[in-house]
Structure 1
Amino acid sequence: MAIEFAQSPLLTFVIGLALVVLLLVVLDLPAFVGLAIAAFAVGLVNAAFVPDFALADAATRTATAFGNGMAGIGIPILMAAIIGKSMLESGSAQRIVRSFQSLVGRENSDIALWGSSTVLAIPVFFDSVFYLMAPLARSMRARMGDNYALYLVVVGAGAATAHVFVPPTPGPLAVASEVGADIGTTMLIGVTVAVPSATMGGLVYGRWINRHIDIPLRDAMGTTTDELKERAQRDVSSLPSFLEATAPIVIAVALVGSLTVVNALEGVTVAEPLRPFVAFVVDNRPFVAFIGDKNVALTVAALAAAYTYYRWSDLSRSDWEDELTEALKSGGNIAAITAMGGAFGALLAASGIGSYLANGLEGFGIPLLVTAWLIAAIVRIAQGSATAAMLTAAGIMAPLTGQLPVNTAYLVMVIGAGGNICSWYNDSGFWLVKEIGGLTQAETLKTWTALTTIISVTGLVVVLVVSSVLPLA
């Protein structure tokens, strides 16, 4: 038994977990350094026990995974740093915050942020939504003087639930395709599951945890707390208009969403008057794919935000450029930590921990929906990536869909719920929330990690209840 454990991916997982706790919590090393050491160490264990994993791969695969992570989030995070800095310093974030409050009332500020992040996350990736909404959460905290934990949780809840439940976001879309679920039905059920999950995780848990911890507003994304508080007290006449203030968000969502729209229009039959327009849009898909890429979309949004910052500040051109450079330095640090967190997760995944745990669950006689949730949840906890966990579970469950007593869209939901659980040290999203939000590791665990777990469990319960009432089989 001891020999089997030593040669199983469980040993790699235990060593990785112990190392990140030792390096990041006990020794309090810089996050990037600690994650790099942990990733290299996991690679060494893989070299000892994983076939076709050479000793040199411990270094090269870590570097490759880090590079792949930077390729995915490097430009967006750097541009998000400019957007965040510019929106906060120009007063744009304050203008949006005050508009929210005038619409729903100061006492419902959390609902405004929650609703906004939920809607934005349907056409836009989770990380992009958090980049855009985090400055608003920080500005809301500066204006209200408290409730920062609540504002961060509601922003995260809206974005995270849409990310795993509602197509056309990539995760549930890919799972629906893998298991053969109807996209329209999946979207309807996705909204049905997402709303109560986001409500429980964002509003209910957010308000509860907010009463038990007080997270201070710290310097983050190149902006100090004093600067935020000063802008929170400005007269409204010294702030940009609502249209100009929201331009970076509108631009980013419109550009990224345009690709989603084009993908949806392909192969769809429309009324005769609309056919020339639809044909024109579809024919120009390569151009839309370019402007709809999140790297390009956030770059254009960053230019708009930076221009507003220049217009509404009294800085000279050189001082303005220096401020943007400082924001990029902050963004570079966040990008490096986030990508290395992803690399640590990738090295854990290379041990085979995902398939090892998933295969171990297949023979337990648990109902199929619960089995799918468990597989996705365990893979997610073990290797960090929500998308990888969802696709792993989908691949395992796809041949079993004929045994489902309910619509396969419910299978997509439980897989998404399981894949969302317990975002922690091996998930790049954990480090993204921590660094952009200006949180400690403990605060991130109490807010973000707890939130993702509540969304996961709530999603499973909602699916089991709804599917028993409306099986749609």
Structure 2
Amino acid sequence: MHYHTDNTAHMAIEFAHSPLLTFGIGLALVVLLLVVWDLPAFVGLALAAFSVGVVNAVFVPDFALAQAATQTATAFGNGMAGIGIPILMAAIIGKSMLESGSAQRVVRTFQSLVGKENSDVALWGSSTILAIPVFFDSVFYLLAPLARSMRARMGKNYALYIVVVGAGAATAHVFVPPTPGPLAVASEIGSDLGMTMVIGVAVAAPSATMGGLVYGRWINKRLDIPLRDSMGTTREELEERAQRDSSTLPSFLEAVGPIVVAVALVGASTAIGPLQQVLPGFAGLFATLEPLVAFLGDKNVALTAAALLAAYIYLRWTDLSRSEWEGELTEALKSGGNIAAITAMGGAFGALLAASGIGSYLAGSLQNIGIGLLITAWLIAAIVRIAQGSATAAMLTAAGIMAPLTGQLDVHAAYLVMAIGAGGNICSWYPDSGFWLVKEIGGLTQAETLKTWTVVTTIISVTGLVSVLILSTIFPLA
């Protein structure tokens, strides 16, 4: 009996010093501040991040109390460095494409090709393909205006359109190289790029279908999301553009110009590395071009170029004076600044949770569970993702742990890359900056974002794992 008491006390002390306590406090605070008290998202996330930092100062060795403030600010700054310029330029692109009628032209062209009843398929296919050479967030910036325009034209189905855009982009983001996440994991695991791409497409196809089209159509019948003001454009303005005569809209080529520019520049930067391997005879030419392509293909520069083109088209296709046009763009930038701040602070909250050691704690706890390597890898990535928010961090954490065990696989290593990618995609929620990005740019409430985006990422994750297990059983390729 005395032994049992000591053991219970030891377990209690261990929990008190474990990152699980920090995670529990952080989760409770976010729910209290954002859901119960309904504070502005930026303020609530900042308070939650500071509070998690204070808890870290109590329990984490070498984490000083002052770091609760400095690390929050640093993580926020790092987040803004990553998404600040792209979101502000995306605000200009979105405003310009919506107001000029470009988004309506693209929507109407899609519908003429596939039929109005298949509008979701057009958006889903576009987002999936675009996300292979381009980061998820960039694809969402570019296609969210199309989803909003489609809703304005159809008068319904906004839940469906947001889901298919998000699902396509998120799926390619974790499964298909040369997207950076799976590319880095493949390098860590030692899986050859060609086979990783082939298996990535095979896993991505059913995952994007289940998460986008199947779930999107299911939730759309049960959730009616209204069109709200977002990114500097009001609902009334969108609906007015949706009723315009086609003769007053830009041509299709002009309308898609900003999207083509952004994708071409970023895609060229992504592709130049693999092209050097595939075409070694042109190594000298690629080496000469690489610095210029890297500059132009940086998402900050690429989206700035796209924004300039979109803004010019906006000016060309409206009767605004230069000063009125400038004022409209400034309004869009104000909206974009708020979205950037919320998104970056969501990432900072996740970073303070990560500073508690929750990722390595959970990964170490799962490492020796007696289940197959593919499921173990998925579990490690999934739990780290849920705990600290970042899909990329979860994937790289799992890859680092699983890399030494790759020799024990009886299937191709690319399947391990896919299992890790699937786990890293699960349950995007409060600690994930992507959750706030989708919420704010899409004009959604927290509850709507949880019912759409959070569920979609989870469906993609589970479908991805099931696909990996089935494919690796039928085609081990070892």
TM-score range, shorter chain: over 0.9
Q: In the aligned structure 1, how far is the partner of 2:271 from the partner of 2:353?
A: 36
Kept in 1, the 8 Å contact 2:89–2:304? The answer is: yes
The residue aligned with 1:319 is: 324
Q: Give the residue type in structure 1 aligned to 2:143.
A: M
Say yes or no: does 1:430 pair with 2:435: yes
Q: Give the residue type in structure 1 aligned to 2:17.
A: Q
Say yes or no: does 1:401 pair with 2:406: yes
CA gap of 1:418–1:142, structure 2 versus 1, over 3 A, is same
SS in 2 for 1:212: coil
Q: 1:192 aligns with which of 199, 202, 213?
A: 202
Q: 2:216 aligns with which of 206, 213, 217?
A: 206
Shift >6 Å, 4+ stretches: none
Q: How does 1:360-399 map to 2 (within 5 A)?
A: 360-399=365-404
Q: How does 1:74-85 map to 2 (within 5 A)?
A: 74-85=84-95
Q: Give the residue type in structure 1 aligned to 2:340.
A: A
Kept in 1, the 8 Å contact 2:131–2:172? The answer is: yes
The residue aligned with 2:193 is: 183
The residue aligned with 1:14 is: 24
SS in 2 for 1:254: helix
Q: How does 1:28-67 map to 2 (within 5 A)?
A: 28-67=38-77
Q: Give the residue type in structure 1 aligned to 2:114.
A: V
Q: In the aligned structure 1, how far is the partner of 2:366 from the partner of 2:298?
A: 38
How far apart are residue 264 of structure 1 and its match? 1.3
Say yes or no: does 1:223 pair with 2:233: yes
Say yes or no: does 1:259 pair with 2:264: no
Say yes or no: does 1:455 pair with 2:465: no
Q: In the aligned structure 2, how far is the partner of 1:55 from the partner of 1:227?
A: 49
Q: In the aligned structure 1, how far is the partner of 2:40 from the partner of 2:113?
A: 42
Say yes or no: does 1:417 pair with 2:427: no
Number of matched pairs? 468
Q: 1:156 aligns with which of 160, 166, 173?
A: 166
Q: What whole-Å deviation, never above 9, does each CA across 1:7-61 have from its counterpart, x for those lacking one?
A: 1000000000000000000000000000000000000000001111101000000
Q: In the aligned structure 2, how far is the partner of 1:358 from the partner of 1:189?
A: 25
The residue aligned with 2:476 is: 471
How far apart are residue 269 of structure 1 and its match? 3.6
SS in 2 for 1:433: helix
Q: In the aligned structure 2, how far is the partner of 1:390 from the partner of 1:284?
A: 31
Q: Give the residue type in structure 1 aligned to 2:415.
A: Y
How far apart are residue 442 of structure 1 and its match? 0.1
Q: Give the residue type in structure 2 aligned to 1:446.
A: K
Q: What whole-Å deviation, never above 9, does each CA across 1:116-135 have from its counterpart, x for those lacking one?
A: 00000000000000000000
RMSD of Structure 2 on Structure 1 (CA)? 0.8
Q: Give the residue type in structure 1 aligned to 2:456.
A: L
How far apart are residue 262 of structure 1 and its match? 1.2
How far apart are residue 340 of structure 1 and its match? 0.1
Q: 1:340 aligns with which of 324, 331, 345?
A: 345
Q: Give the residue type in structure 1 aligned to 2:362.
A: L
Q: In the aligned structure 2, how far is the partner of 1:51 from the partner of 1:266?
A: 46
The residue aligned with 1:284 is: 289
Q: How does 1:83-94 map to 2 (within 5 A)?
A: 83-94=93-104
Q: In the aligned structure 2, how far is the partner of 1:332 from the partner of 1:193?
A: 36
SS in 1 for 2:256: helix
Q: 1:145 aligns with which of 130, 148, 155?
A: 155
Q: In the aligned structure 2, how far is the partner of 1:346 from the partner of 1:166?
A: 26
Q: In the aligned structure 2, how far is the partner of 1:421 from the partner of 1:288?
A: 33
Q: In the aligned structure 1, how far is the partner of 2:176 from the partner of 2:290?
A: 23
Q: In the aligned structure 1, how far is the partner of 2:435 from the partner of 2:340?
A: 12
Q: In the aligned structure 2, how far is the partner of 1:453 from the partner of 1:128?
A: 21
How far apart are residue 260 of structure 1 and its match? 1.5
Q: In the aligned structure 1, how far is the partner of 2:429 from the partner of 2:270?
A: 30
Say yes or no: does 1:295 pair with 2:305: no
Q: In the aligned structure 1, how far is the partner of 2:320 from the partner of 2:151?
A: 25
Q: In the aligned structure 2, how far is the partner of 1:410 from the partner of 1:416?
A: 10
Q: In the aligned structure 1, how far is the partner of 2:368 from the partner of 2:330?
A: 56
How far apart are residue 268 of structure 1 and its match? 3.1
Kept in 2, the 8 Å contact 1:139–1:228? The answer is: yes
The residue aligned with 2:451 is: 446
Q: What whole-Å deviation, never above 9, does each CA across 1:359-402 have from its counterpart, x for those lacking one?
A: 11122201110000000000000000000000000000000001
Q: Give the residue type in structure 1 aligned to 2:16.
A: A
Kept in 1, the 8 Å contact 2:151–2:158? The answer is: yes
Q: In the aligned structure 1, how far is the partner of 2:287 from the partner of 2:110?
A: 36
Q: In the aligned structure 1, how far is the partner of 2:196 from the partner of 2:359?
A: 26
The residue aligned with 2:110 is: 100
Q: Give the residue type in structure 2 aligned to 1:392.
A: T
How high is the TM-score relative to the length of structure 1?
Answer: 0.98
* Ranges in structure 1 where 5+ consecutive residues have no aligned partner: none
Q: Give the residue type in structure 2 aligned to 1:110.
A: D
How high is the TM-score relative to the length of structure 2?
Answer: 0.97
Say yes or no: does 1:357 pair with 2:362: yes
Say yes or no: does 1:170 pair with 2:180: yes
Q: 1:109 aligns with which of 101, 119, 128?
A: 119
Say yes or no: does 1:309 pair with 2:320: no
Say yes or no: does 1:234 pair with 2:244: yes
Kept in 1, the 8 Å contact 2:276–2:286? The answer is: no
Kept in 2, the 8 Å contact 1:262–1:282? The answer is: no
Q: 2:133 aligns with which of 117, 120, 123?
A: 123
Kept in 2, the 8 Å contact 1:265–1:282? The answer is: no
Q: Give the residue type in structure 1 aligned to 2:424.
A: G
Q: Give the residue type in structure 2 aligned to 1:32.
A: F
Kept in 2, the 8 Å contact 1:372–1:411? The answer is: yes
SS in 1 for 2:277: coil
How far apart are residue 280 of structure 1 and its match? 2.1
